[in-house]
């Protein structure tokens, strides 16, 4: 891996500043885990039959960002990026994907999520989560997506180590 460019979350700050900073830290962590690898290395699977790869994680997190920000607060019917049937596992199959394609989708969804959060008057903004069939707050969405990143960045640690032996951060 290359130099750690992440900005650590503040030790003091408002709830919103803290959630925003932790989300951005984890987003940067996923990107850092993928730095310096070829498309082929990014597609390297953990172990059969799993489809899990670093590129698959990037694709999956694009779906997570889209599902929890865009679908909840802007367009309940927007389709997933890689599945017409709300199949979140479809994103893991990165066998024909490229860094350019996956990162473009992920970065676009992150930008949309950041805009939605930034434009919200408060963390109490309410949106409708179609998968659950109920209303949720922006606060809940930010915490949920943060937990998704934490979980999948743990997977990214192991995947990166399996590709080239790089460990840490």
Question: Domains in the chain, ordered, with CATH?
Answer: 34-164 (1.20.120.450)
Calculate mean pLDDT across residues 40-48.
91
> pLDDT of 111-155, one tens digit each?
999 999 999 999 999 999 988 899 999 999 999 999 999 999 999
Residue 78: its pLDDT value, please?
A: 92
Q: What HEC string does 68-126 produce?
A: HHHHHHCCCCCCCCCCCCCCHHHHHCCCCCCHHHHHHHHHHHHHHHHHHHHHCCCCCCE
Residue 169: its pLDDT value, please?
A: 66
Q: Give the global pTM.
A: 0.93
């Amino acid at each position: 891996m290359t130099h750690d460019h992440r900005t650590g979350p503040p030790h003091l700050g408002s709830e919103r500043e803290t959630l925003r900073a932790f989300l951005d830290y984890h987003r940067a962590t996923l990107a850092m885990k993928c730095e310096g690898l070829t498309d082929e290395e990014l597609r390297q699977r953990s172990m059969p039959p799993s489809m899990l790869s670093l590129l698959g994680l990037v694709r999956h997190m694009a779906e997570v960002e889209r599902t929890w920000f865009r679908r909840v607060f802007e367009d309940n019917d927007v389709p997933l990026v890689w599945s017409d049937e709300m199949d979140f596992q479809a994103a893991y199959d990165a066998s024909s994907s490229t860094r350019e394609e996956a990162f473009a989708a992920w970065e676009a969804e992150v930008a949309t999520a950041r805009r939605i959060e930034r434009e919200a008057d408060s963390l109490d903004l309410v949106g409708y989560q179609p998968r659950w069939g109920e209303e949720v707050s922006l606060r809940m969405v930010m915490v949920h997506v943060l937990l998704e990143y934490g979980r999948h960045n743990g997977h990214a640690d192991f995947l990166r180590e399996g590709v080239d032996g790089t460990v840490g951060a």
